Amino acid sequence: MSTALPRRALIAPSVLSADFLRLGEEIREVEDGGADLLHVDVMDGHFVPNLTFGPPVIAKIREASRVPLDVHLMIEEPERWISRYVEAGAAWLTVHVETSPHLHRTLQQIREAGAQPGVVLNPSTSPETLDWVLEDCHHVLVMSVNPGFGGQRFIPSALRKVEAIADRIARRGLDVAIEIDGGIGPDTIRSAWDAGATVFVAGNAIFGAPDRKARIAALRSLLT
């Protein structure tokens, strides 16, 4: 008989899809609706073809929120910005393997700054890129769309990648969470859970729903 504890799913609404003019109210609504984390997408207009916000806005989001901030850095040279984002309020801080030639050092930097370090892989990036840093990760984020925009269609090959990473984590006996980001909603969340993901970012599927609480409950109900 398995003695494994039941897996718990974490739902992380992505504020990229929120109404920025009403950000405080939007955050309260998803928190009251059962969000476990708030996913915050930082884009620099270089690594990805879009621009969002930086540390001052994140510090304000921190003031307006009760749940931990899961900050996803889609920026070049992320190592230059680690302390600024942790000071602004990032509890989880995730850097792209594609932006980080000294990934091992960058992950230590995040941990020393006081946040939970994570690595994110673009859809075309192999899970083998994690092999020498998996022990240093609190979480791994698998992109299931090309980063830069909300509301895109889920890329199914992400599921095989989640499985491959889950297998590596299990074989090494590690406790690393697998997060998935992009196109997650009622039609895709269950397959990601079955592949081994436990942290689900959802922008459009939550903020685009008229009743965010009902949508979060519906997503969670698909995982039981």
Catalytic residue ranges: 41, 181
Per CB under 6 A, does 27 bind ligand DX5?
Answer: no
Give me the least distance between CB of 39 and Zn ion, in Å please.
6
Q: Which helix (H) or strand (E) holds 192?
A: helix 189-195
How far is the CA of 149 from the CAs of 21, 41, 196, 202, in angstroms? Answer: 19, 9, 24, 12
Among 145, 169, 192, 197, binds ligand DX5 (CB under 6 A): 145
Among 33, 55, 117, 147, binds ligand DX5 (CB under 6 A): 147
Per CB under 6 A, does 54 bind ligand DX5?
Answer: no
Give me the least distance between CB of 158 and Zn ion, in Å please.
13
Three-class secondary structure of residue 186 per DSSP? coil
Residues 155-184, mask of contacts with ligand DX5 (x by CB under 6 A): --------------------------xxxx
* Four-residue CA torsion sign, 195, 198, 199, 201: positive
* Complete edge-to-edge strand list for the sheet that includes strand 69-74: 10-13, 199-202, 177-181, 139-143, 116-121, 90-96, 69-74, 38-43
User: Binding residues for ligand DX5, per CB under 6 A?
Assistant: 14, 16-17, 39, 41, 72, 145, 147-152, 181-184, 201-205
